[in-house]
Amino acid sequence: MRIALFITCVNDLAFPATGIAVTRILRRLGHTVDFPADQTCCGQMHANTGYRAEALPMVRNYVDVFDSYDAIVAPSGSCTAMIRDQYPHLHPPATSVAARTYELSELLVDVLGVTDVGAEFPETVTYHPTCHGLRMLRLGDRPLTLLRQVRGIKLVELGDAEECCGFGGTFALKNPDVSTAMLTDKCARVRDTGARVLAAADNSCLAHIGGGLDRHRSGVRAVHYAEILAETGATS
């Protein structure tokens, strides 16, 4: 199976560790991963802010870059949802490649049939199901299923877990007061858990929540769950 990694624009620039983690997990499981260098951005920010015409060239580029792969994995629920839900409407020729694009936990659990990726992570972790993964992709408990198999991990439940953190892409900038109010509540629920690590499937939401946690010097680290799955306990 030819697997390609769609790193997403935000991860490429600001969160390369997540992409490195995905690569390590898949290689550890015996798969070859390609990183087509011509990839750019899925176009979600443009499309969801009201600039579909400006998003369309990115959609076309995605088709050109990824159409030849059997499976494309993206470490982002939100970008995957953009591709799977919106691409077929925006650009019908993207329908086939959109259907072959998976969020990491979908690829591991559904396509590769793996729930134990051989990870070890001796920390107290709480998991926030980000909205597009939860309600558009219907990831369900796939990420948690993977995390539960991690050796040494202590998973604690997040209160009001399914409530949006208030990021919402450009929402955070256009509606700063409401976004901040939602963030404040989400950070409080995270702190209530006593966890040292907050995990989620989207680094953009994590940058928002993590940014709020840092501001309050909470000592909680926000990480993409792929980075937990990549840990083997061995010092790298």
Partner 1 sequence: MSQPVAPATGSGRIRTPLPFPTAAKPAVADTQLRANLHRATRTIRAKRARVVDEVPDWEALRDAGSAIKADVQRRLPELLEQFEASATAAGATVHWARDAAEACRIVVALTRAAGADEVVKVKSMATQEIELNEALEAAGIAAYETDLAELIVQLGEDTPSHILVPAIHYNRAQIREIFQRRMADAPADLSDEPAALAEAARAHLRRRFLSARVAVSGANFAVADTGTLVVVESEGNGRMCLTLPETLISVVGVEKLLPTFTDLEVFLQLLPRSSTGERMNPYTSMWTGVTPGDGPQDVHVVLVDNGRSAVLADPVGRPALSCIRCSACLNVCPVYERAGGHAYGSVYPGPIGAILSPQLTGVADNASLPYASTLCGACYDVCPVKINIPEILVHLRQQAPHPPAERAAMRVLSWVMRSPRRWAVALRLARAGAGPLGAYRERRTGARTLRRLPWPASAWTRSRDLPLPAPQTFREWWGKQ
Interacting residue ranges for partner 1, rule: CB under 8 A: 7, 9, 11-17, 19-20, 23, 35, 37-41, 43, 45-52, 54-55, 57-58, 60-61, 65, 86, 131-132, 134-136, 162-164, 166-184, 207-208, 210-212, 214-215
Cβ distance to partner 1 smaller for residue 55 or 117: 55
Task: Tell the smallest beta-carbon distance from residue 86 to partner 1 (Å).
Answer: 8
Indicate the residue among 20 and 114 with the shorter CB distance to partner 1: 20
Dist. CA 44–CA 149, nearest whole Å: 32
All residues at 6 or more sequence positions from 125 whose CB lies less than 8 Å from its CB, including other chains? 147, 153, 154, 155, 156, 195, 196, 197, 198, 199, 228
Write down the least CB distance from residue 29 to partner 1, Å.
Answer: 18
CB distance 150 to 229 below 8 Å: yes
Whole-number minimum distance, CB 12 to partner 1, in Å? 5
Q: Closest approach of Cβ 196 to partner 1, in Å?
A: 16
Indicate if the alpha-carbon torsion angle 178, 182, 187, 192 is positive or negative: positive
Contact 182, 141 (CB under 8 A): no
Nearer residue to partner 1 within complex by CB, 17 or 71? 17
Cβ nearer to partner 1, comparing 127 with 153: 127
Closest CB 20 distance from partner 1, rounded Å: 6
What does the radius of gyration of the chain's CA atoms come to, in whole angstroms? 17
For partner 1, which is the closer residue by CB, 16 or 152?
16
CB of 28 to partner 1, least distance (A): 15
Q: Closest Cα to residue 143, out of 112, 113, 106, 114?
A: 106
Q: Which is nearer to partner 1, 38 or 113 (CB)?
A: 38
CB of residue 1 vs partner 1: minimum separation in angstroms?
A: 20
8 Å CB contact between 231 and 193:
no
- Contact predicate 31/3, CB 8 Å: yes
Q: Which is nearer to partner 1, 58 or 146 (CB)?
A: 58
CA distance 88 to 132: 17
**Burial class of residue 66 (count of CB atoms within 10 Å of its CB; 0-12, 13-18, 19+):** buried
